[in-house]
Amino acid sequence: MKWLFGRRDPKSKVSSLLSIWHLLETVDLNRPELADKLRDFSARLEQELESAKNVVTIRAQSGRVEDVDFIFDILNRLPPPPERLAPLPEDDDFTWEKAETGLGPVARVVNRIRITFQSGIVSEYEKLLAEARRRNAPQSELEGLKSELETEIRQVDLEFRRHLKNLMLLYQLYEHCLDALARAGSPEVEQELIKRLRAAQPQERIFALNALRRRQFQPRTPEQTLDYWLAQAKLLDREVERKQAERELERLIAQTDSFDSLASLLEPRLAEEGMVHLQA
């Protein structure tokens, strides 16, 4: 069988990419050899992103629980993109300091590796300059070495900007996973996402919630309505959205005219989520 990625099966290929990211994300970044690892990873991402996205699309369309598990696992291993990506590596006002704040975890990783790599270059030139001064080298030689160092630093900056741009493709894959779940036509996918609104892990709940919101999901039962708005009230970042979710929950409580259903459905779930204040 010929796999989309070549000799290795697609799932293993995606997992391999994510394993490299996990290494870069968790290892001590003050290691000069990581520059080569970053270069290889950057090139692989550029070459393999579309194939990885195709794998996700096919899995999402299947509707099988194990394929939803597969996509959730990818999401769990990927860095979540910041709400607004700025400044971009190609922008005129780009600085590495701004990038660490505005471009999320991939910028932190690339910049720390860049700093270590660049420090090694600077150290070598400092040795050359010190040696030139010891032998009373002419000023032109000293200025030449300084100019070479400045050129090297500019080249390093441009190279690592390219790597940052490529590693930001991880954000594309993250968004594609959610979009693939949102576009999946299988009703089984939607049911699985609804089920995961009550998952034990908050991260799994937020993935399900984000996919359902992209599907423009409309709850069809009181149980779905409760789970959908509880997840938003608990997990969304923006306070205005959390408050809106609380208002929807209060509306649901007000519309419940059966004491039995209030006791059996609403009260246990609100207590479970620590939101009993909504019943006041």
| Each residue's pLDDT tens digit, 143-190 | 999 999 999 999 999 999 999 999 999 999 999 999 999 999 889 999
Same domain for 70 and 167? Answer: yes
- Examine residue 88 and state whether it is found in any structural domain, yes or no: yes
Give the whole-number percent of the chain exceeding pLDDT 90. 81
Q: Is pLDDT at 277 greater than 50 in this prediction?
A: yes
Same domain for 120 and 223? Answer: no
- Examine residue 5 and state whether it is found in any structural domain, yes or no: no
Is 214:178 a contact under the CB 8 Å cutoff? yes
| Amino acid occupying residue 278 | L
- Examine residue 180 and state whether it is found in any structural domain, yes or no: no
- DSSP class of residue 6? B
Q: What confidence tens digit (pLDDT) does each residue in 226-265 have?
A: 999 999 999 998 999 999 999 999 888 887 766 667 667 8
- Examine residue 182 and state whether it is found in any structural domain, yes or no: no
Same domain for 90 and 206? Answer: no
* Average pLDDT of the residues of the chain: 92
Q: Among the three residues 174, 206, 224, which one is the final residue of a domain in this structure? A: 174
Is 227:194 a contact under the CB 8 Å cutoff? yes
pLDDT for 6 equals 47
Give the CA-trace dihedral at 161, 167, 169, 172, to 10 degrees.
Answer: -110
Alpha carbon distance 236, 57 (integer Å) = 26
Q: Which has the higher per-residue pLDDT, 9 or 7?
A: 9
pLDDT for 2 equals 40
Same domain for 99 and 27? Answer: yes
Closest CA to 142 of 132, 152, 127, 154: 132
pLDDT for 256 equals 74
Q: Is pLDDT at 92 greater than 90 in this prediction?
A: yes
Same domain for 46 and 135? Answer: yes
Alpha carbon distance 51, 46 (integer Å) = 10
- Examine residue 79 and state whether it is found in any structural domain, yes or no: yes
- Examine residue 152 and state whether it is found in any structural domain, yes or no: yes
Same domain for 163 and 63? Answer: yes
What is the reported pTM? 0.90
Same domain for 136 and 241? Answer: no
What phi-psi label fits residue 190: left (phi over 0), alpha (psi between -120 and 50 degrees) or beta?
A: alpha
Same domain for 76 and 211? Answer: no
Alpha carbon distance 211, 226 (integer Å) = 17
Number of domains in the chain: 2
pLDDT for 5 equals 44
Same domain for 162 and 237? Answer: no
Radius of gyration of the chain (CA): 25
Q: Is pLDDT at 24 greater than 90 in this prediction?
A: yes
Mean pLDDT in residue range 104-110: 97
Same domain for 149 and 63? Answer: yes
Q: Which has the higher per-residue pLDDT, 118 or 237?
A: 118
Q: Among the three residues 142, 174, 206, which one is the final residue of a domain in this structure? A: 174
Which range marks the domain in which residue 251 is found?
187-279
- Examine residue 4 and state whether it is found in any structural domain, yes or no: no
Q: Which has the higher per-residue pLDDT, 268 or 48?
A: 48
Spell out the alpha helix ranges (H) of the chain: 10-26, 34-62, 65-77, 96-102, 104-134, 139-167, 169-183, 187-195, 202-214, 222-235, 239-255, 259-261, 267-272
Considering all CA atoms of the chain, what is the largest pairwise distance in Å, rounded to the nearest integer?
Answer: 94
Q: Among the three residues 174, 206, 241, which one is the final residue of a domain in this structure? A: 174
Question: How would residue 1 be classed by pLDDT, with cut points 50, 70 and 90?
Answer: very low
Is 159:64 a contact under the CB 8 Å cutoff? no
Mean pLDDT in residue range 191-208: 96
pLDDT for 48 equals 95
Same domain for 170 and 217? Answer: no
Extract the tokens encoding 184.
């999946």
- Examine residue 262 and state whether it is found in any structural domain, yes or no: yes
Closest CA to 65 of 259, 278, 208: 208
Q: What confidence tens digit (pLDDT) does each residue in 32-45 have?
A: 999 999 999 999 99
Query: What is the number of alpha carbons within 13 Å of residue 20 lying toward its C-beta?
Result: 19
Same domain for 138 and 269? Answer: no
